[in-house]
């Protein structure tokens, strides 16, 4: 049988307790979701500011539809680039203090585009090196593994290990990559230690801030706002709209040359239909919304409440001050069982298993949102206590 590997691969996943299945979400309103007719408080959404269903953002999307139509109709270099796309790019460039910004349909494709763009076909003579944090997101790892650059990893958040790897490499084309807030751990990159060891003459520093953008900083501009990092210090900044912004899509911000280069050479950019203009308009509206300030404050309060209640209940958390609060389990079957018990108690928390996280670090990944009421957090901690400690 030609494709026997398919059934064998599925069998292996199943035997290891790692088979994945999707769940149909039948409705979602506020922090509640309905699955198979039952209702749960959802602690597995990246909608950190509850912008996804904010009337301001939904109305903007509807207004955008009326003005621009449903789809964008073409790729951006053909006729798919509108004043709505341009306005979002210009807003981001100005707020982030970057020369130029480029929109992508997803963070996944933006990460691929960076790796392909900097280390793809035209750099064969100088393949270069990519040095990424060990816990860098799959979309970046996939991109890095798909190009001819040497790919090495530094120990998670270990700036001295990064320095050691940098001192061993003498290529002129080096990309160092890390995340503002790590997607499965919720901890933050030590950027104040990483930035000073990068020689910007020969090395790019890239920060994927998918989880920091929207949630961190007084204006929600993410880690570059928190640490006041210039374009010189972080020449490549990636952020997404599918999480705290409540819409979808992503951007890369950097120098005019970098962005013009991607416009000319990034196949992920050139050969893909642009995001609907209405989506760009709704994203800009979400970024601009005054309620962002208020909701970031509510989110902060919910995180503090959760950590305090968990501590009082004797629940051990991983070190995180962000909306991502993982509970370490260490075994895929046990993580799935814990998630199942929580569901029986009306709490929706997804078990995150290998290969999304390293082996033996399976966990419950809880995400908190400004959409949660205080009582939702109390219910979560009660359920965790019943599930984990009895």
Residues that bind ligand PLP (CB under 6 A): 106-108, 111, 137, 139, 179, 183, 208, 210-211, 240, 242, 250
**Minimum CB–partner distance for residue 272 and ligand PLP (Å):** 13
Active site residues: 46, 137, 179, 183, 208, 211, 243
Nearer to ligand PLP, 211 or 372 (CB): 211
HSE value, Cβ hemisphere, 13 Å, CA-based, for 109: 20
CA distances from 341 to 151, 294, 360, 366 (A): 40, 34, 20, 15
At 306, phi and psi to the nearest 5?
-60, -45
Nearest to 327, CA basis, from 355, 378, 368 = 368
* Nearer to ligand PLP among residue 238 and residue 364 (C-beta): 238
Q: Which of 76, 46, 60 is nearest to 210 (CA)?
A: 46
CB 255 within 8 A of CB 100: yes
In the bound state with ligand PLP, the residue whose beta carbon lies nearer, of 100 and 137, is 137
CB of 3: closest distance to ligand PLP in angstroms?
28
Task: Please identify which residue in the block is written with the tokens 């900044």.
Answer: 237
Closest separation in Å from C-beta 169 to ligand PLP: 24
Residue 214 Cβ, how far from ligand PLP at the closest point, in Å? 12
- Looking up tokens 């500011």, which residue turns up? 49
Distance CA 185, CA 182 (A): 5
Q: What are phi and psi of 68, to 5 degrees?
A: -110, -10
Q: How far is 200 from 210, CA to CA, in rounded Å?
A: 23
Smaller CB distance to ligand PLP: residue 340 or 358? 358
User: Cis (ω within 30 of 0) for the bond into 370?
Assistant: no
Using the minimum distance from each CB to ligand PLP, give the nearer residue, 115 or 384: 115
β-bridge mates for residue 34, sequence order: 27, 39
Q: How far is the CB of 194 from ligand PLP (least distance, A)?
A: 16
84 three-state secondary structure:
helix
In whole angstroms, the minimum distance from the beta carbon of 64 to ligand PLP comes to 19
For residue 68 the two structure tokens come to: 């621009």
**Dist CA 302 CA 353 (whole Å):** 26
Residue 185 vs 225, nearer CB to ligand PLP: 185
């Amino acid at each position: 049988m030609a494709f026997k590997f398919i059934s064998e691969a599925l069998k292996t996943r199943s035997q290891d307790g790692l088979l994945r299945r999707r769940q149909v979400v039948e409705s979602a309103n506020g922090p509640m979701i309905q699955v198979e007719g039952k209702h749960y408080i959802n602690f597995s959404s990246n909608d950190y500011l509850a912008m996804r269903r904010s009337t301001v953002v939904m109305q903007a999307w509807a207004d955008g539809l009326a003005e621009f139509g449903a789809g964008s109709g073409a790729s951006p270099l053909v006729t798919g680039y509108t004043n709505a796309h341009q306005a979002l790019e210009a807003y981001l460039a100005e707020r982030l203090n970057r020369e130029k910004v480029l929109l992508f349909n997803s963070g996944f494709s933006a990460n691929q585009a960076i790796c392909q763009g900097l280390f793809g076909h035209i750099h064969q003579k100088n393949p270069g090196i990519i040095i990424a944090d060990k816990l860098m997101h799959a979309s970046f790892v996939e991109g890095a593994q798909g190009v001819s650059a040497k790919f090495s990893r530094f120990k998670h958040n270990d700036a001295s290990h990064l320095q050691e790897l940098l001192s061993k490499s003498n290529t002129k084309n080096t990309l160092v990559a890390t995340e503002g807030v790590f997607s499965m751990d919720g901890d933050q990159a030590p950027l104040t230690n990483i930035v000073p060891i990068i020689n910007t003459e020969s090395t790019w520093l890239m920060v994927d801030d998918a989880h920091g953008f929207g949630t961190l900083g007084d204006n929600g501009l993410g880690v570059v706002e928190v640490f006041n990092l210039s374009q010189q210090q972080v020449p490549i900044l990636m952020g997404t709209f599918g999480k705290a912004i409540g819409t979808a899509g992503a951007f890369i911000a950097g120098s005019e040359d970098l962005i013009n280069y991607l416009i000319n050479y990034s196949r992920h950019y050139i050969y893909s239909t642009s995001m609907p203009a209405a989506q760009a308009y709704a994203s800009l509206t979400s970024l601009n919304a005054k309620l962002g300030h208020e909701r970031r404050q509510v989110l902060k309060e919910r995180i503090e409440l959760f950590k305090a209640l968990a501590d009082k209940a004797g629940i051990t958390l991983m070190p995180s001050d962000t909306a991502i609060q993982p509970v370490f389990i260490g075994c895929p079957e046990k993580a799935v069982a814990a998630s199942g018990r929580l569901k029986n108690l009306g709490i929706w928390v997804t078990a995150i298993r290998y290969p999304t996280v390293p082996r033996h670090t399976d966990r419950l990944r809880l995400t908190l949102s400004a959409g949660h009421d205080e009582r939702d957090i109390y219910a979560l901690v009660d359920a965790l206590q019943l599930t984990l400690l009895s």
